[in-house]
Amino acid sequence: MDSFTTHTGVGVPLKRSNVDTDQIIPAVYLKRVTRTGFEDGLFAAWRNDPDFVLNDPTYAAGSVLVAGPDFGTGSSREHAVWALQNYGFKVVISSRFADIFRGNSGKAGLLAAQVDEKVVQRLWDWLEDHPGGEITVDLESRTVRAGAGDDAVEDSFDIDDYTRWRLLEGLDDIGITLGHDDDIAAFEAARPGWKPVTA
């Protein structure tokens, strides 16, 4: 995984709450056996609507999604994270993420930055005044920034320490765990014999 320190990119306002994983990518797009190519299914139903934000050329280079609360609810499909990444998103900002989506983002290298609901509203307002404007998300200092003038937005975001460290270092989770192989082997030696096996 590539390390993530800071990112500056075009902010895209997604003014919806409860953006579930079936909206991010419908099930019919989940049939690929690769981690790439899922951008065609991103927000598939909404992209038929000419007024949908991603159909606005202003946001063609969008890489920071600013969404309403309860983003990523529903299915465990990591394809939702891949679809956002394959499309070009590096960061999703929301006031509340579903647990599995947040976990998948941390594993796959998409930054899920949790901010206060008021900050989402301020970013939406700022983007309305500055369409195509850029948002900077700094993982080192856990801050999100937009603009420089009187109406600039700057605030902190939440991310757990462990995920932040892994993203900053670009670490392979499995590699870290395999470093604890002795602990795993000791645990296995002490498991009760009546626990079920499949083979």
Q: Which is nearer to another protein, 29 or 126 (CB)?
A: 29
- Cβ at position 43, least distance to another protein in Å: 11
Instruction: With CA atoms as reference, report the closest residue to 103 among 43, 179, 44, 167.
Output: 167
74 SS3 class: coil
**Interatomic CA distance for residues 87 and 41, integer angstroms:** 10
CB of 168 to another protein, least distance (A): 15
Closest to another protein by CB, 26 vs 133, is 26
Q: Of the two residues 28 and 148, which places its CB atom closer to another protein in the complex?
A: 28
Other Cβ atoms less than 10 A from the Cβ of 90: the count is: 18
Please report, as ranges, the residues that interact with another protein according to CB under 8 A: 16-18, 20, 22-23, 26-28, 30-35, 44-45, 68-70, 73-79, 81, 96, 98-100, 103-104, 107-108, 160-162, 173-174, 176-178, 180, 183-184, 187-188, 191-199
25 CB contacts (<8 Å, ≥6 apart)? 38, 41, 42, 43, 44, 77, 79, 80, 83
CB of residue 150 vs another protein: minimum separation in angstroms?
A: 26
